[in-house]
Amino acid sequence: MPAYTKYDARVDSLVIEARTAWDPSVGTLSDEDKAWLTQQVHKHPAQASKVTYERMHTGFSREITVTKDDIARIYREQVGA
């Protein structure tokens, strides 16, 4: 089975579990910031820098590794820049 290491709309439609990992370059964030960023990054997975899908019994799990670029993009979108 091929590795799914980038966004794929077909595979994403079969996601039954979403996980979030944090790139070491992100540093320390508060729990509130992590919760909010997790929600935002999974809202638009096609825009995430690092997406990995893993086959499960009844679908796929999606893991997004949040990077500094993702955080910067999300905050730019929020302020409308």
The answer as to whether 66 is a domain residue is yes
- 21 class by beta-carbon count within 10 Å (0-12 exposed, 13-18 middle, 19+ buried): exposed
Farthest-apart Cα atoms in the chain, separation: 42
The answer as to whether 45 is a domain residue is yes
Domain encompassing residue 49 = 9-79
The answer as to whether 3 is a domain residue is no
Confidence category of residue 80, pLDDT binned at 50, 70, 90: confident
The answer as to whether 1 is a domain residue is no
The answer as to whether 4 is a domain residue is no
Q: Rounded to an integer, what distance in angstroms lies between the CA atom of residue 20 and that of residue 3? A: 18
The answer as to whether 51 is a domain residue is yes
pTM higher than the cut 0.85: yes
Q: Which helix (H) or strand (E) holds 66?
A: strand 60-66
Write the pLDDT tens digit of every residue in 19-78: 999 999 998 999 999 999 999 999 999 999 999 999 999 999 999 999 999 999 999 988
Q: How many structural domains are present in the chain?
A: 1
Tokens at 41, concatenated: 């990054």
